[in-house]
């Protein structure tokens, strides 16, 4: 999506450890009109898939998931990284390693919000090594639900996550695919 690539080049910053910081518009401060356009694009890509739930993981994926859900007219379910007192004990769980935070999380989704017969679209802000996406796929499969695909805002295509998930037969649509990224050379996108 050319509009997103232009925004990444304009406002994205390459931080320490080759981390792409897009927190000025995507995952800290949210540019709602801009993300609304991204949600419309995910709807265009998946509108014929029979989506009845959108699943994401806290916290950075929630904004784009909600704006995408508006287009589909369906609820958003987000996997929580901590089991809190207001979640029933009857949950699906999966483990995810966060490279950003350098730690493992057990993510949970209440069984009352994800079930057999659901047609689930995963929405997330980034895909790099694939750990979060694989954990979300595990939750969907444990629920007996069907994954219709994964909508990713930014994919680091030079890392293995996208290939791993696609090899499992999951349709992955990334709005921007980064081919390479270094502080010296900047960002290049896949064709």
Say if residues 78 and 56 touch (Cβ distance below 8 Å): yes
Q: Is the pTM of this model over 0.85?
A: yes
Which of 3.50.50.60, 3.40.50.2020, 1.20.1250.20, 3.40.640.10 would CATH assign to domain 2-189? 3.40.50.2020
For 65, how many CA atoms within 13 A lie in the half-sphere containing its CB?
A: 25
For 52-101, write each residue's pLDDT tens digit.
Answer: 999 999 888 999 999 999 999 999 999 998 766 556 668 898 998 877 67
* Helices 62-72, 32-46: crossing angle, 10 deg rounding: 50
pLDDT tens-digit map of 129-188: 999 999 999 999 999 999 999 999 999 999 999 999 999 999 999 999 999 999 888 999
The pLDDT score that the predictor gives to residue 58 is 86
Four-CA torsion 66, 67, 70, 76, nearest 10 degrees = -20
CA distance 8 to 126: 13
Report the DSSP beta bridge partners of residue 174.
Answer: 152
Give the start-to-end residue ranges of the domains of the chain: 2-189
């Amino acid at each position: 999506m050319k509009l997103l690539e232009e925004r990444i080049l304009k406002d994205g910053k390459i931080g320490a450890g080759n981390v792409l910081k897009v927190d000025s518009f995507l995952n800290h401060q949210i540019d709602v009109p801009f993300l609304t356009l991204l949600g419309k694009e995910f709807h265009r890509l998946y509108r014929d898939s029979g989506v009845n739930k959108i699943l994401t993981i806290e916290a950075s994926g929630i904004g784009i998931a909600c704006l995408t859900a508006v287009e589909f007219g369906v609820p958003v379910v987000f996997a929580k990284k901590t089991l809190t007192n207001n979640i029933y004990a009857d949950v699906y769980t999966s483990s995810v390693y966060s490279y950003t935070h350098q730690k493992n999380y057990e993510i949970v989704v209440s069984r009352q919000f994800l079930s057999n017969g659901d047609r689930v679209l995963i929405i997330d802000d980034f895909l790099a090594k694939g750990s979060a996406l694989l954990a979300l796929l595990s939750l969907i499969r444990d629920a007996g639900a069907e994954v219709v695909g994964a909508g990713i805002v930014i994919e680091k295509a030079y890392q293995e996550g996208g290939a791993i998930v696609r090899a499992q037969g999951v349709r992955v649509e990334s709005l921007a695919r980064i081919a390479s990224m270094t502080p010296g050379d900047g960002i290049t996108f896949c064709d």
